[in-house]
Structure 1
Amino acid sequence: MSADSPDQTFAGHVAVVTGAGTGIGRATAVAFAAAGAHVLGVGRREEPLKETAALHPGIDVLAIDICGAGAPAEVIRAAVQCWGRLDYLVNNAGATAVMTLADTDERTITDLFALNVVAPSLLAHAALPHLRESSGTIINLSSTYGHRPMPGGAHYAATKAAVEQLTRSWALELAGEGVRVNAVAPGPTRTDVLLHAGLTPEATNDMYAYERERIPTHHIAGAEEVAYWVLRMADPAGRHATGQVIAVDGGLELV
């Protein structure tokens, strides 16, 4: 969706999007705002967040480490204080790690689970009273490797498998209260996540080339293509869908 989109599906609604400084998070924040929502974009780095906010006037930002003590509650409080409600929590922030079993270290495992599993859980916990009031929705970001093995990335895959089980379990737990929980599971997507994982630009391009050959559509997704599906899972018209993990991976999970 472009910033001048006539689609106002989310007019007057409020969305919190974590990891909004770059990639899928930035694209999701812009898409929500273009469709009428007030968006709080959250991330650790202030400068990338400012760049996101400059893309649409409907985006406010909060620079905070969501793994910090009390940070999840602070994020939700900031959104509700600003707009008086919360309709959508998009748990997008996450990290990956290329790490074989032979090279495994405790700090990397702990950090992965803290960001990919613990922080989304605490954000959802803090958001829940407000989502109950608005019959809102949680959208978690998983990965193709949340349900496929990933040699050399087992612990990352394990965090995303945890996200998918959180999604299903919360959906069943909250269905009677009108709160929906779904997940979007992207395949390889052009973002800076591999660079942040320590790969060089050359190694990143090699990885994309390798993955492109494996994907049945031979296409590496752009962040906007994934954001499209985040918004579709949030759309109130889809209120009968909950507990679903939607793969956006060009058919990679099928091979």
Structure 2
Amino acid sequence: MSDFDGKVVLVTGGGAGIGLAAAQAFARDGAQVFVTGRRAQALDEATTGIAGLHGIVADASVPDSAAQVIAQIIDRAGRLDIIVNNVGDGAVGPMEQMTAQRIAAIFNVNIIYPSMLVAAALPHLESTAGLIVNMSSTYGSKAGAPLSHYAASKAAIEHLTRCWALEFAPKKIRVNAIASGPVETGFMSNQMGLPAEMIEAIKEHERNTIPLGRRGVPADVGEWVAAIARPRLEWMTGQVIAVDGGLQIL
């Protein structure tokens, strides 16, 4: 019997990148996995041909949609065991170029939306002694000059991880986080909106900086998301695990 047979998992922002890699890892091991994203076509392409993988169209910039996502999963699957708060937003640039609207958008997606999702899911996670996995970043604990508000939002999700672990322990709900290093996804172009030449310069700098000598691929992190959700690790909560090729220890 596989670790996730009969389990129901939600992965936000699971149509590509780390989220999709994590969703595939759960599905391969028997889970029924729901992934969210803004574009129905992209979700259809990501989930087609993969047993146990289902798409739900949802916009993480709209906090009210969180409760609707949970309601839809309970209606379709009858339970919820694991939430992976993977969807994220960010920006790179000097402080003088930031606006109140852009800062608010980052925290809306990275902090408010996961909070509303967890609030809506709590009774269902309590009934299954469930698990929450939050996605952080190396820069949740490591300073990055042009990443201040993205980094601050990830520092916040790491502290939420610890606070939620204490708050939800009486409900037998565990909460942990993965702090990912730079990974080959579309995040810098799609979410951050950076031009191609800047993206390549950042990638080259990271390849030369990361101790293991390369940027990650989605499976490097996605497999760890599934790994820390396995029942045999049921005594671990409130922890942030770095998966970043050694970047955090520099």
State TM-score, norm by structure 2: 0.97
Unaligned runs of 5+ in 2: none
More deviation, 242-251/22-31:
22-31
Q: Does 1:145 align with 2:101?
A: no
From 113, 125, 140, the equivalent of 1:119 is 113
| RMSD after superposition | 1.2
**What corresponds to 1:168 in structure 2?**
162
Secondary structure of the residue that 1:234 maps to in structure 2? Answer: coil
* Structure 1 residue 115: Cα displacement: 0.3
Partner residue of 1:33?
Answer: 27
Match of 1:158 among 127, 144, 152: 152
Contact 2:63 2:108 in 1 (8 A): no
Contact 2:14 2:37 in 1 (8 A): yes
Q: Which amino acid aligns with 1:170?
A: W
Counterpart for residue 246 of structure 2: 251
Q: What corresponds to 2:78 in structure 1?
A: 84
Q: Counterpart in 2 of 1:74?
A: 68
**Superposition deviation, residue 99 in structure 1:** 2.3
Task: Report 1:228-247 matches (<5 A).
Answer: 228-247=223-242
User: Percent same amino acid at aligned positions?
Assistant: 42
1:107 aligns with 2:101: yes
CA contact (8 A) 1:91 1:139 kept: yes
1:101-124 CA distance string (max 9 Å, x none): 121211100100000000000001
Is it true that 1:208 corresponds to 2:203 in the alignment? Answer: yes
Partners of 2:159 and 2:210 in 1: how far apart? 25
SS of equivalent residue, structure 2 residue 97: coil
Q: 1:127-174 CA distances to partner (integer Å, 9 max, x unpaired)?
A: 111110000000000000000111011000000000000000000111
Q: Which runs of at least 4 in structure 1 moved beyond 3 Å after TM superposition? A: none
**In structure 1, distance between residues paired with 2:15 and 2:105:** 19
Deviations 1:35-71 (A, max 9, x none): 1100111111112111111141211111111332521
Number of matched pairs: 249
The 1-side partners of 2:114 and 2:64 are apart by 13
Unaligned segments of structure 1, at least 5 residues: 1-6
Shift of 1:227: 0.6
Q: Check whether the contact 2:63–2:112 (CA below 8 A) recurs between aligned residues.
A: no
